[in-house]
A and B are shown apart, each in its own frame.
Chain A
Amino acid sequence: MGIRVRLDYLLLDRQLTLTDLADRIGITIANLSILKTNKARAIRFSTLDALCRELQCQPGELLVWTPDEVEDGKAEA
């Protein structure tokens, strides 16, 4: 899947840690880590809403689509 979550970039830009964000939006660090490392298969609207609210961003800033994304350890043709 070519969707990437730019959580690491936004956290750095907002000078926040994963723990701070987890506390603010009420999601476990483990789940946020899944998002940050792009292992998530799906994201709930409620999570997206909370992330956008706390990071003061649009969904388009958080999620980007890249055609050359590596999936399951194999490069797409």
Chain B
Amino acid sequence: MTVMAKSPVAAFLAGLVNLFWHLGKVGLALCVLMFVVSPWIGTHDLKVDVKIPVALSLNATTHPVVARTPDVTDGTLGDLRGSLRFVPLKRGFIAGSAVVIAIAISLIMWVLYQLRAVFRTLKAGQPFVPENALRLRRIGWAVIIGETLRAVVALIENAYAANHFSVSSLTFVVRPDYNALTVIGGLIILVIAEVFRAGTRLDEEQSLTV
């Protein structure tokens, strides 16, 4: 187990987690700053542009997709996704965005906190403890909940774009963007956590076998 602690991969991952942890702290500080200065944004030439994800549908008659080779037929473009950059003039938008970003960073930092705790046990040469199984389970749920929250926020941003903007030949649509792969990733972590929990029990028994 102590060999694992000296592994360069483990050391690299621990360093990466620590780096993201500190970046998260900087991000949180910036969010607080953004929230504090939000009343002045939009006035005194202090303008901040934001970027939100959008879903679009294209008018197929005005934008036909024509085949260039004889081995395919003409096509249609659908389920377009992109990002919309604009300057919001309503002060509440910036403050709200700061809160949403702060919540997202907090969730990520909570996951990093769990990972740091796991790496501490790895460094101490005792990674097979029941607490690590619990930490892995928390991470799995955080991934699933985080993806759900992201999808909800993206849906709200889609609705905002559809209500506030229009563009010729394109229509902003409100469409859920739930990433099933991320959720499956979360489920995999939950399964690994259960395997780990069983492993810690076996390790505990093994350690008391003479």
CB of A31 within 8 Å of the partner chain = yes
Residue of B nearest to A35 (CB): B210
Pick from A27, A32, A34, A47: contact of B208, CB under 8 Å: A34
Interface size class of A (residues with CB under 8 A): 10 to 19
Q: How close is B130's CB to chain A, nearest CB, in angstroms?
A: 16
A31 neighbours in B (Cβ, 8 Å): 210
Binary contact track B195-208/A, C-beta < 8 Å → 1, others 0:
00000000001001
CB of A74 within 8 Å of the partner chain = no
CB of A14 within 8 Å of the partner chain = no
Taking CB atoms and an 8 Å cut-off, the chain A residues in 24-53 that contact chain B are 27, 31-32, 34-35, 39-44, 47
In Å, the complex CA distance between A18 and B159 comes to: 76
CB of B209 within 8 Å of the partner chain = yes
Residue of A nearest to B204 (CB): A41
Q: How close is A38's CB to chain B, nearest CB, in angstroms?
A: 11
Q: How close is B127's CB to chain A, nearest CB, in angstroms?
A: 20
Residue of B nearest to A28 (CB): B210
B205 neighbours in A (Cβ, 8 Å): 41-42
Most buried by A among B205, B208, B210: B210
B208 neighbours in A (Cβ, 8 Å): 34, 39-42
Binary contact track B178-210/A, C-beta < 8 Å → 1, others 0:
000000000000000000000000000100111
Q: How close is A4's CB to chain B, nearest CB, in angstroms?
A: 14
Binding site for B on A (CB under 8 A): 27, 31-32, 34-35, 39-44, 47
- What are 14 sample pairs from A and B whose C-beta atoms fall under 8 A apart? A27-B210, A31-B210, A32-B210, A34-B210, A40-B208, A40-B209, A40-B210, A42-B208, A42-B209, A42-B210, A43-B210, A44-B209, A44-B210, A47-B210
- Given A40-B209, A40-B210, A42-B208; 16 other pairs, CB 8 A cutoff: A27-B210, A31-B210, A32-B210, A34-B208, A34-B210, A39-B208, A40-B208, A41-B205, A41-B208, A41-B209, A42-B209, A42-B210, A43-B210, A44-B209, A44-B210, A47-B210
